[in-house]
Amino acid sequence: MKVLMVIPALGNVYGGPTQVILELAESIAKLGISVDIIATHANGSTNLDVPLNEWIIQKYHRVQYFPYLDFLDYKFTGAMTKWLFKNVDNYDIVHTNAIFSYPVLAAHWACQFRNIPYIATPHGMMEPWALAYKAWKKKLYFTLLEQPALQKASSIQMLASTEAEGIKSLHLKPPLVIVPNGIHSTDFASLPSPDIFYQQFPETRNKILIIFLGRIDPKKGLDLLAPAFAKVHEKFTETHLIVAGPDNTGFLSTAESYFMEGGCRDAVTFTGMLRGDMKYAALAAANIYVAPSYSEGFSMSVLEGMAAGLPCVITTGCNFPEAGMANAASIVDIDANQIADSLIEFLQDPIKAKATGDRARQFILENYTWDSIASKMLSVYQDLISLEK
């Protein structure tokens, strides 16, 4: 089987979706499947320094980058379009990732033209909040171009049951399959020393650390986290908030202003994006994980926080009710007071916090590893290909 994965961009500034595609591609390739990835070389306001229009051989798969013209973030790319129409029939199935970006639309058109089955993964971009955000530039594009292409997909992958429920109003015809994201259990077998993080950010040493791990973006709920943390910090003055993630939309100054207004900016460290041992050391240093999001497809950072054994406070917008049913996380409404109260509850009851973190770790390692996710996705591919024959 030959699989082509298409994503608008693989730059680190795009956070979770980039990580998901690379991890999924590698995990599927380890099962003996040929996997190629194509993307533009976009990386936020800059471009990746990579060869263009040629294959880059990775350990388990290949990647090819194409030049693009950025217009309203749609990433128009003639080079990729030409390549797709010429080469897409070399593959048994195409897996597109994201919507509201031209490269994915070009892939759908090429698949239709060459009669190749394709599965589309919107990564939470069809959630009601996501569709309503900047709706002025999405509505016409979705109605005229995106929705007709999605209607002809062989299937649409949802990352969570709640995401599938949320898009019913769009009346999409293809069958929905639910395949979540995952983590590598080996990454969490033994976390590095927190000292690695303390040395880089000494103001966090000897503090009770609450960590937010995600992009600095309006949908991540930092406007809710700021008043929530202000309430927490007033009661527990030794608390310190880590905001760890890239600012790929220029939202950082606005996010900082939320904490200034809350009077707690001095107790917040914005680290930028953390990678590798530094990210895992931050998780090892943290006492509580928080995700105040308005909307997620299926958050990789939530999985990481739970796999690290942290008690987690997440909103219903994170689309992870299963964690609540397993009593492995505190799930609250999208509300600053509820976020604050849940954080305070963990701080007041360390025994409960540790027990929740222990359950979280076990729950993720038993149910959400890339090995099991890759096997499930491969079964989906096989079913869709057999239906086309």
Per residue of the chain (389 residues), give pLDDT as tens.
999 999 999 987 777 788 889 999 999 999 999 999 999 999 888 899 999 999 999 999 999 999 999 876 789 999 999 999 999 999 999 999 988 889 999 999 999 999 999 999 998 777 666 666 666 667 777 778 788 999 999 999 998 888 888 788 788 899 999 999 999 999 999 999 999 999 999 999 999 999 999 989 999 999 999 999 999 999 999 999 999 999 978 899 999 999 999 999 999 999 999 989 999 999 999 999 999 999 887 888 999 999 999 999 999 999 899 999 999 999 999 999 999 999 999 999 999 999 999 999 999 999 999 999 999 999 999 999 998 76
Neighbours of 83 (CB within 10 A): 17
Same domain? For 216 and 174 the reply is no
Contact 339, 220 (CB under 8 A): no
Q: Is residue 127 a contact partner of residue 103, using CB atoms and an 8 Å limit? A: no
56 shares a domain with 31: yes
Instruction: Count the domains in the chain.
Output: 2
Burial string for 295-320 (b: 16+ CB within 10 Å, else e) reads: bbbbbbbbbbbbbbbbbbbbbbbbbb
The CATH number of the domain holding residue 248 is: 3.40.50.2000
**Amino acid, res. 360:** A
Phi, psi of 129 (to 5 degrees): -65, -45
Read off the tokens for 374: 């890759």
Residue 57 identity (one-letter amino acid): I
Residue given tokens 């996380």 in the structure block: 329
Structure tokens at 383: 């079913």
- Per the structure, the complete domain to which residue 98 belongs is given by 2-182+369-388
Q: Are 201 and 240 in contact (CB under 8 A)?
A: no
Question: Please, are residues 121 and 99 in contact by the beta-carbon 8 Å criterion?
Answer: no
Considering the domain architecture, whether residues 271 and 331 belong to the same structural domain is answered as yes
Structure tokens at 101: 């970006």
Strand, coil or helix: 204: helix
Rounded CA gap, 360 and 310, in Å? 7
Q: Does 177 lie in the same domain as 191?
A: no
Residue from 332, 360, 361, 300 nearest 159 by CA: 300
Q: How many Å apart are CA 216 and CA 270, to the nearest integer?
A: 10
pLDDT for the residue numbered 373: 94
Residues 143 and 239 reside in one and the same domain: no
208, β-bridge pairs? 239
Q: CA angle, corner 284, sides to 123 and 26, nearest 5?
A: 40
Does one domain contain both 174 and 223? Answer: no
Measured distance CA(352)–CA(355) in Å, rounded: 5
Is 275 in the same domain as 314? Answer: yes
Residues 339 and 194 in one domain: yes
The reply to whether 257 and 229 lie within a common domain is yes
Q: Residues 152, 208: one domain? A: no
Note the pTM of the prediction, 2 decimals: 0.81
Residues 172 and 189 in one domain: no
